[in-house]
Amino acid sequence: MSGIALVRRPGPRIAEGIVTHLAREPVDHERAAVQHDAYVAALAANGWRPTYVAPADDLPDGPFVEDTLVMSGRLAVLTRPGAPERRPEVESVAQAVRELGVTSVRIAAPGTLDGGDVLQVGPTVYVGRSARTDDDGIRQLTALLPERNVVPVELRGVLHLKSAVTALPDGTLIGDPDQADLHGLLVPEEEAGAHVVVLGEDRVLLAASAPQTAAMLEKRGFFVTKVDISEYEKLEGCVTCLSVLVAD
């Protein structure tokens, strides 16, 4: 598995990013930039070619590109984020998508959809009902992806669906059953272990803050790449938030 990884460097206002379920902590912009470079390097080392979205220094949450775009094969669904202050992030992502020559569609007002609420596992697309994604957004996504099985998921006390649950390369769901109404979850050893980026058929990217989960996944036969994203975790970010993978 390989392709393009859409990413955006953090701007100097990243410390002002939205925090919903955590107490605000100071965020070091310079350290965040170093961590982002290491994150991108890890993607590149695993066969994903970095493509940078235009800088958005006036938009604190800009590096969390996942919320602006959902890829389904070669179709790009440009979202309408639930937080109004994040909606200006979408246009520069739309431009990046156009430059890739990928067909794009959009979630239209008044519906809202954050990409962090969309988890794709084979033909199934799980979508979290959250403060950022509403029923109209889910309805529109269902209509835009007629060949997929879109399944709404109820959430509890968590920002996005993928803040609670992601999927391993073999389709096994890993996450916290107390936060999402999904059955048969593999429970991670640490909260950050619920967040994995699938890099290949046997490879995943995981936060360095989940070493016990990394060991558990390695025992299950997966190759685990660990990255430090502590500055982004202070803003409720996780490894999935910082990129959108576009497979070849």
State the catalytic residues.
160, 241
Structure tokens at 198: 């699938």
Task: Point out which residues pair with 223 in neighbouring strands.
Answer: 203
Q: What backbone phi and psi angles, to 5 degrees, belong to 104?
A: -130, 150
